[in-house]
Amino acid sequence: MFIAALSTIAKLCKETKCPSTDEWIKKMWFVYTMEYYLAMRKNEIGPFAATWMELEGIMLSEISQRKKADLNKVKVVSHHCTLVRGVT
């Protein structure tokens, strides 16, 4: 099932519009959620719990990196405007 989901995601990426980071995270989150749910139904939570925790860490890391990048863009634009205006 996991390989089928990955191949579906790969097919979607090959289309003309490559998904944004947010879309990719949502798709991966859905895949892992479904695997976790199915494992719970079968009482086979072991390996999926570790994967779930890893995915949560990856998502938090990507979100924080995106926020840092946005903050850096704001700082650069602000610094540029200060230089152009000559305001200190």
Between the alpha carbon of residue 66 and those of residues 42, 44, 46, 80, the distances in Å are 37, 34, 31, 21
Residues 50-73: what's their mean pLDDT?
A: 70
What is the four-CA torsion angle of 45, 41, 35, 33, rounded to 10 degrees? Answer: -100
- pLDDT for 5-38, tens place per residue? 656 666 665 555 666 777 777 777 777 777 777 7
Which carries the bigger pLDDT value, residue 5 or residue 65?
65
Which H or E run contains 77?
helix 46-85
Burial of 62 (0-12, 13-18, 19+ CB in 10 A): middle
pLDDT of the residue at 35: 77
pLDDT of the residue at 62: 72
Q: Are 36 and 48 in contact (CB under 8 A)?
A: yes
pLDDT of the residue at 49: 60
Q: What is the mean pLDDT of the chain?
A: 68
| Locus of tokens 């494992």 | 39
**Residue percentage of the chain with pLDDT more than 90:** 0
